C-alpha cells in the first residue's frame, strides 16, 4: 500500500491534516455508543441517586458533551468542528447490570463527526467509572462503537 492511499499522510509519508477546503458544506451526524458493566449494587446506587458525589448520569452527560467539543484537542489530525448539537443519553440496563451511553453529534460542515460521537460516548463511560470506582473497581467499559453516520459524500453507515 502506498502513502497516496492514506489520507492522513503526504506523498513522503509524513502525517498531515486532510485538506477539506474544497469539500461542500453538508449536514452531517453520527451516533456512537459505549456500555459500562458493573456490579448490580453499583447500578442500583446510580439509579436510586444515592451517590455522595451527586447524580452520576448527569455528570457523565456533561462530560460527554465537553469531550465532543474537545475532540480535536485529544485526537491528532482531527479538525476542530463547530458542532451544532451534541446529545448524550445514559440508559441504565438492569438486566445486564450496565449503563448504555449513546452520543449523537451534528453539524453543517465539511467533515464528519464520527470521532466526536465516539469520544463523547467513551468519556461519558469513563466518567461513570471515575465516579463509581471507589465502590466497584471491576467495572468494564465495553463495545465502544459507531452506530450510524449520515452526510458527506460517502454512503450513510448503519451498524448491524
130 is catalytic: yes
Nearest one of 138, 124, 157 to 42, comparing CA atoms: 138
| Active-site annotation holder among 11, 19, 73, 130 | 130
Three-state DSSP at 115 gives: helix
Spatial distance between the Cα atoms of 36 and 153, rounded to a whole number of angstroms: 33
Nearest one of 140, 134, 144 to 38, comparing CA atoms: 140
- From start to end of 15-97, where are the E strands? 26-37, 85-93
Three-state DSSP at 65 gives: helix
Spatial distance between the Cα atoms of 15 and 52, rounded to a whole number of angstroms: 45
Paired strand residues for 98: 37, 93
Residues carrying an active site annotation = 130
Amino acid at each position: 500500500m502506498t502513502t497516496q492511499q492514506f489520507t492522513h499522510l503526504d506523498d513522503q509519508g509524513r502525517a498531515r491534516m486532510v485538506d477539506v477546503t474544497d469539500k461542500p458544506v453538508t449536514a452531517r451526524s453520527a451516533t456512537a455508543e459505549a456500555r459500562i458493566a458493573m456490579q448490580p449494587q453499583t447500578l442500583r446506587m446510580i439509579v436510586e441517586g444515592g451517590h455522595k458525589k451527586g447524580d452520576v448520569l448527569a455528570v457523565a452527560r456533561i462530560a460527554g458533551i465537553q469531550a465532543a467539543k474537545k475532540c480535536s484537542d485529544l485526537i491528532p489530525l482531527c479538525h476542530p468542528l463547530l458542532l451544532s448539537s451534541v446529545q448524550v443519553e445514559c440508559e441504565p440496563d438492569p438486566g445486564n447490570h450496565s449503563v448504555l451511553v449513546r452520543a449523537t453529534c451534528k453539524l453543517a460542515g465539511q467533515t464528519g463527526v464520527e470521532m466526536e460521537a465516539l469520544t463523547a460516548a467513551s468519556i461519558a463511560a469513563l466518567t461513570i467509572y471515575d465516579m463509581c470506582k471507589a465502590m466497584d473497581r471491576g467495572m468494564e467499559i465495553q463495545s465502544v462503537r459507531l452506530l450510524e453516520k449520515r452526510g458527506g459524500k460517502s454512503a450513510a453507515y448503519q451498524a448491524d
